[in-house]
Structure 1
């Protein structure tokens, strides 16, 4: 029987106060944040740290829980999926992105400019939350 996938993602600030957005192969050309599936026996914190390292080659610090969302059969995603998405806010000391095969393009942008990108719906919700909270 199919079950929802537990996934993690992080909106991450660099030392200059910009956030990292990525365009991946999985969201039909839309922009989002690095993240992915939680592996068996892995904590959410370990998963988001690993996924960020694997996808963009950067280390996270000051990881803070942001919210949980559901994505049920979203037409934005490249295949039918039911995902439980656990989102975090975090920082990184690095800036040089080393993309894996999933990352097609990336940009460091001011949080206030993130909504100018064609974001997938779950990332738009995360960015709007950060803006409401006045995250820097």
Structure 2
């Protein structure tokens, strides 16, 4: 276990048809969320989210913009004890074909208003709610 918080990035991504991508990973105890991961030394946050998406889904992102920052301290939803700073983004992609790595167990493209129908982890639920508020503004 790390003695310091781990900096992580993730993004809610819209595909070319306006649907968003949600994934079920091995790290969130069967809950759904967004792809993402740790920021590496020397990377900007935007570079990290682009790299993580390429590695986990095969997608290239564009129109990446900051959404929010959340803190996950010993979340029981996560597969191990961890203290993470989660920097969330909104982004777009022109692709829909997913090439999953070993972390992605399942994925779905769906309308934003249908995202809450999946068992989302708490942090993704907050991100989806923010996107819905901004869409209505």
Is the shorter-chain TM-score for this pair beyond 0.5, marking a shared fold?
A: yes
RMSD: 0.9
State yes or no: 1:96 paired with 2:97: yes
| Partner residue, 2:42 | 41
**Where in structure 2 are the equivalents of 1:43-82 lying within 5 Å?**
43-82=44-83
Alpha-carbon offset, residue 18 of structure 1: 0.2
State yes or no: 1:9 paired with 2:10: yes
Alpha-carbon offset, residue 80 of structure 1: 0.2
Matched residue count: 135
State yes or no: 1:31 paired with 2:11: no
C-alpha distance in structure 1 between counterparts of 2:6 and 2:90, whole Å = 21
Q: Any stretches of 5+ residues in structure 2 without a counterpart?
A: none
| Partner residue, 1:131 | 132
C-alpha distance in structure 2 between counterparts of 1:67 and 1:52, whole Å = 18
Give deviations 1:73-104, integer Å, cap 9, x for gaps: 00000000000000000000000000000000
Q: SS of the residue aligned with 1:67?
A: strand
Q: SS of the residue aligned with 1:87?
A: strand
TM-score under structure 1 normalisation? Answer: 0.98
Q: SS of the residue aligned with 1:80?
A: coil
Moved over 6 A (4+): none
Q: SS of the residue aligned with 2:53?
A: helix
C-alpha distance in structure 1 between counterparts of 2:106 and 2:40, whole Å = 25
C-alpha distance in structure 2 between counterparts of 1:70 and 1:115, whole Å = 21
TM-score under structure 2 normalisation? Answer: 0.97
Alpha-carbon offset, residue 46 of structure 1: 0.3
C-alpha distance in structure 1 between counterparts of 2:44 and 2:129, whole Å = 26
State yes or no: 1:120 paired with 2:121: yes
C-alpha distance in structure 2 between counterparts of 1:94 and 1:78, whole Å = 30
